[in-house]
Chains A and B, each alone.
Chain A
């Protein structure tokens, strides 16, 4: 009986070692973050951005639909009238204040879906840790000037 167990154990250890030996030659799947960039799927939803038209005009027309769609109440929009001479956005209104509170946001992407002009989009930036609560409020200034503009518009 004992001898039988001995062989069985040796086979199992051998199988396990086989896995180890085989894997030893494979390329690693983890990434050395932050030294190396992380591969990003196109539909990943990270930090918000506000987009502009090619002309430089803001896409956001201050319609507040994103605010209404947001399940957590993370968005605050204050719209006002465009100066007809120097419009900020096409149409009659634009967002004077646009704020996203990242402490509330659950990155569901509803704002993006609600937006009629594809102005608000969720980008790929995900490193969002910060030192003060205030810094979690994304102002319009920050939203309009993302580090690396997100150009992917999700098909859905």
Chain B
């Protein structure tokens, strides 16, 4: 048979011809179908075999190369796949009834050489020759894994990992890979909405923007600039956040600008030193860090790829993990000292550690020791609820470590206590000689960048103080205004005083109404609420004007990950039927309504402006950042080595009360996550998790419907027994859809009582 005439005509067919699958097909066309020399019947195995909700195994295609097994063993340290049977009948299989559930299991799809493992969310929705591939990053947590977005006909079809040896090696987690259904969801906002006669009605862009500008100007002249507040989002790009704070500061004239987990958290500006230092062990035996302490942060749920790097560091690099968390988190299986502290006992624990460190050194009169002179081991046991033995081991490791890295997350750093916790951490880190390597990690994709961009009520872009003698004039000159000097209100203060001293809010990419019912009530009292969103969230439903924005995949933007690496997320697709616009464009046009000519013609020009406005980002233009990102140098922003006393009021719990803890889970079932149908089974669900001992004491069983109540509110949830939760603690993860734990915590630490619901 002759090669067909059509093979050379169509451009897409040329692409096919270059693919290896095609070459095999071409052989068949030229020489006819192969004639098998086998006389036995073909072996038949499972072709559609689910090894998890998201991965399908075709056992007939599998060549038993072991790569999937090795990945799960060598990287995840979870041997969930194995070889079964012998000889020609060998198959890859899971243990009966135990689907693969490693948080990064999707990577085995990428490394399977024959396509025996397929992505159940994406499979069959494209052929490889017809998709467009755009290098991008994942924006679902602060690791910022490098990804490639595969699109076809204006829809996102698949996300796969892209190599960046500084960040994610070549791996990504399952949330980043599979939970992207929301990008193409039909419920996305497509047109500006304005409230007319009580309902939100579609209008044109000029009408919406003119209304926003008129209303904001009216409120500014009647109630003053400080009656207006802006809320940015750590889930959005630097460009969006930079322009929002510029809008608030330059055109409204207020420092009332913050984001969730912004000024309410006692953070440190400098982020992790470098992820690559943790990744080193795979290339050689000398890890940069020999001891890693995790304080109130659970990488397995919050930062899955960091979890992968840590496992590697422990197993290959012989690094030691010290873990302090109210939950027996997954990484405690590596037998490092584990201090399961009681929420509210954070400072007691850290002071106790400092005390033990001083005792071990027989140091009696240094400044640091005087701060903890009154601390006893009894307090460590009773207030913090931590075994002294584990604490001693931890202190010994820290004291002997050459380079210890200490990481803390937002959970223990919230509110007034958070400031004390940070101070106590600084005391401990400085005393043991690791002050430079104490790091705060935010959890959202751009937690770091949002702070760098000055979306904070008390700092200008670049971590510059409001009255800084160098930074402030620099920005005033660039923006051509005199900037306000009074510090603004933080995120929680803005929402607490909404409807009272705050008359109008401009909320971009945040949904505070779903976080606390009293905030929702406050938002209702506002004179004017603008929400810039991609979905009609609870907050957007209350707005006077809703401005439709686009997601990270549909516009250009840069994100700064937890190690201060600025990375590009390039536009991968665009829906031709929507009127939604990128954040920078909306804000730029809005500024035009205020007679300001910002004159940005693209996201890249905003990126360029940031590189002038923020000295830390100097030179970071779109082209200079490149495909692998660029880290800014935190030298000079590192913590000071001053010691100060840290104290925390004791959180007392009556008999029958439990201390409440939040913290994030990867599969939270939140607004966006819930839109990927294939993942509905793995979502956390509306549970409150307690220790079985507590449940027995309270007379509750697994699955009981319970009311969790304290003076701030009531949540109705189902009870889940979880031995990893410390006795005396109730755990409700943050951002569960419909279970606003933030309402009960009220920005601090609280106790709750749990009782059966009546019915």
Contact = CB atoms under 8 A, between A and B. Distances in A.
A78 interface: yes
B12 interface: yes
Nearest to A79: B124
Which interface residue of B4, B10, B13, B16 has the most chain A CB atoms within 10 A? B10
Interface string A108-122: 101001100000000
B129 A81 contact: no
Interface stretch (A11-19, A21-29, A60-68, A131-139): A60-68
B125 interface: yes
Given A62-B124, A113-B4, A68 B16 contact: yes
Given A64-B130, A68-B16, A93 B10 contact: no
B10 A70 contact: yes
A114 B125 contact: no
Contacts of A102: none
A92 interface: yes
A71 B123 CA distance: 25
A110 B124 contact: no
A71 B127 CA distance: 17
A90 to B, nearest CB: 12
A80 interface: yes
Interface string A61-89: 01110011111000010111100100000
B633 to A, nearest CB: 48
Given A84-B48, A110-B9, A110-B10, A68 B4 contact: no
Given A69-B10, A70-B10, A84-B48, A93 B124 contact: yes
Given A68-B130, A84-B48, A113 B6 contact: yes
Nearest to A61: B124
A140 to B, nearest CB: 16
Contacts of A69: 6, 10, 13
Contact of B124 (A67, A92, A113, A114): A92
Nearest to A72: B10
A38 B153 CA distance: 40
B402 interface: no
B253 to A, nearest CB: 52
Given A84-B48, A92-B47, A71 B125 contact: no
A68 B9 contact: no
Nearest to B129: A68
Contacts of A114: 6
Contacts of B125: 78-80
Interface in B507-522: none
Which interface residue of B6, B12, B123, B125 has the most chain A CB atoms within 10 A? B6
Contact of B48 (A62, A80, A92): A92
A89 to B, nearest CB: 12
B126 to A, nearest CB: 8
A68 B130 CA distance: 8
B10 A81 contact: no
A108 B7 CA distance: 13
A93 B13 CA distance: 22
A92 B57 CA distance: 12
B18 to A, nearest CB: 12
A68 B123 contact: no
Q: DSSP majority for the B interface?
A: loop
Interface string B1-44: 00010100110110110000000000000000000000000000
B124 A71 contact: no
B307 to A, nearest CB: 31
Contacts of A68: 10, 12-13, 15-16, 127, 129-130
B130 A81 contact: no
A116 to B, nearest CB: 9
A114 B16 CA distance: 12
B289 to A, nearest CB: 45
A92 B47 CA distance: 9
B48 A71 contact: no
Contact of B10 (A71, A76, A78): A71
A81 B13 contact: no
B175 to A, nearest CB: 22
A143 to B, nearest CB: 19
Contacts of A76: 153
Contact of A81 (B4, B6, B12, B124): B124
Nearest to B11: A71
Nearest to A93: B124
A68 B129 CA distance: 8
A106 B153 CA distance: 22
A69 B4 CA distance: 11
A93 B127 CA distance: 12
Contacts of B16: 68
Given A67-B130, A68-B16, A92-B48, A80 B124 contact: yes
Nearest to A116: B25
Interface string B317-346: 000000000000000000000000000000
Interface in A94-114: 108, 110, 113-114
Interface string B280-312: 000000000000000000000000000000000
A62 B127 CA distance: 10
Interface in A29-60: none
A96 to B, nearest CB: 9
Interface in B106-151: 123-125, 127, 129-130
A87 to B, nearest CB: 11
B123 A81 contact: yes
Contact of A110 (B6, B15, B127, B130): B6
Contacts of B4: 113
Interface in B674-698: none
B114 to A, nearest CB: 16
Which interface residue of B16, B124, B127 has the most chain A CB atoms within 10 A? B124
Nearest to B127: A64
A62 B126 CA distance: 10
B48 to A, nearest CB: 6
B712 to A, nearest CB: 46
Nearest to B15: A68
Nearest to B4: A113
A115 to B, nearest CB: 11
Contacts of B12: 67-68
* 6 shortest interchain CB distances as A-B pairs: A110-B6, A71-B10, A79-B124, A93-B124, A64-B127, A68-B12
16 contacts: A67-B130, A68-B13, A68-B16, A69-B10, A70-B10, A76-B153, A78-B125, A79-B125, A80-B124, A80-B125, A92-B124, A93-B124, A110-B6, A110-B9, A110-B10, A113-B4
Given A68-B10, A68-B130, A71-B10, 16 more contacts: A62-B124, A63-B127, A64-B127, A64-B130, A68-B13, A68-B16, A68-B129, A78-B125, A79-B124, A79-B125, A81-B124, A84-B48, A92-B48, A92-B124, A113-B4, A113-B6
